[in-house]
Amino acid sequence: MSPDMIDLLIKSFFETCYMVIVSTVMATVIGIPLGVILTVTRKDHILPNSAVNSILGAIVNATRSTPFIILMVAIIPLTRIIVGSSIGTTAAIVPLTISAAPFIARIIESSLLEINPGVIEAAQAMGASPMQIITKVLLPEALHSIVLGVTLAIISLIGYSAMAGALGGGGLGDLAIRYGYQRFQLDVMITTVIILIIMVQAMQSLGNWMSKKLNKNKL
């Protein structure tokens, strides 16, 4: 591989990292409150509200069932409003965030539902407010399971970022398609795929390790 190619690989790698990190952070920031609302507004939970629950649930389901590639094209006007352009690495962050946020919301919801209802009851018996139950009981108790869920989201974002690359987003996916696939540079193709595999492996190991550290159920 030429030194130019290596430079390009490094640049693409950082573009992918940039897309994945920023969209994960944004999606988590949106996904956590969404997931919490989806959980606490269930009937038999601390703030039952079936209207909010079903409307929010429907929006989340709709977003999740739209294929990423279609979502990405469909929200181009929105992307243009937010980042001022619809092509480029930064522009790719908008659809990535919008597709990952509802995924994270559902992950948060299922993690929060795993918590023993008795613990919530105990907190209520002590006079905790719903907000205190969310911040001091639900989120800390579910943290280890949330970490695993976010790891899952990061890994699918790595995959999606490659797809976003195909639509002018840059990154490793873009590189693999333009050089590896369209110009038959097999070495570039293989290298990018290997880098992606290593990234996924590393993320999963990191997620497992963190979750294990945080899980105090089995000591």
Partner 1 sequence: MIELLNIEKTYYSKAGDIHALKTTNLHIKEGEIFGIIGLSGAGKSTLVRCINMLEKPTAGRVIVDGADLTAMNDTQLRKARQSIGMIFQHFNLLASRTVYDNIAFPLEIQGLSKDEIDKRVRPLLELVQLETRADYYPSQLSGGQKQRVGIARALASNPKVLLCDEATSALDPQTTKSILDLLKDINRKMNLTIVMITHQMEVVKAVCDRVAVIENGIIIEEGPMIDVFTNPQHPTTKEFTKSATNDNFAAMLKNMHLSEQYSNGSKLITRISFLGNSAGEPIVSGMVKKFDVDVSILYGNIDHLKDVPFGTLVIEISGSKEGIENALAYLHGQDLKTEVIGYES
Q: Which residues bind partner 1 (CB under 8 A)?
A: 116, 118-119, 121-129, 132, 136-137, 140-141, 143-144, 214, 216-219
Instruction: Find how far residue 216's CA is from the centre of its chain.
Output: 25
Instruction: Output the DSSP codes for 154-203.
Output: HHHHHHHHHHHIIIII-SHHHHIIIIIISS--HHHHHHHHHHHHHHHHHH
> Residue 82 or residue 214: which is nearer to partner 1 going by CB?
214
In 3D space, the residue among 9, 52, 1 whose CA is nearest the CA of residue 170 turns out to be 9
The amino acid at residue 129 is S
> Residue 29 or residue 119: which is nearer to partner 1 going by CB?
119
**Structure-block tokens of residue 29:** 């920031």
Closest distance to partner 1 from the beta carbon of 34 (Å): 22
Closest distance to partner 1 from the beta carbon of 118 (Å): 4
What is the Cα Rg of the chain in Å? 20
> Residue 84 or residue 117: which is nearer to partner 1 going by CB?
117
Place of tokens 């690495």: 89
Closest distance to partner 1 from the beta carbon of 214 (Å): 8
Closest distance to partner 1 from the beta carbon of 218 (Å): 6
> Residue 94 or residue 107: which is nearer to partner 1 going by CB?
107
CA–CA separation, 73 vs 76, rounded Å?
5
> Residue 150 or residue 203: which is nearer to partner 1 going by CB?
150
Closest distance to partner 1 from the beta carbon of 91 (Å): 39
Closest distance to partner 1 from the beta carbon of 11 (Å): 41
Q: Are 157 and 65 in contact (CB under 8 A)?
A: no
Under DSSP, the state recorded for 137 is I
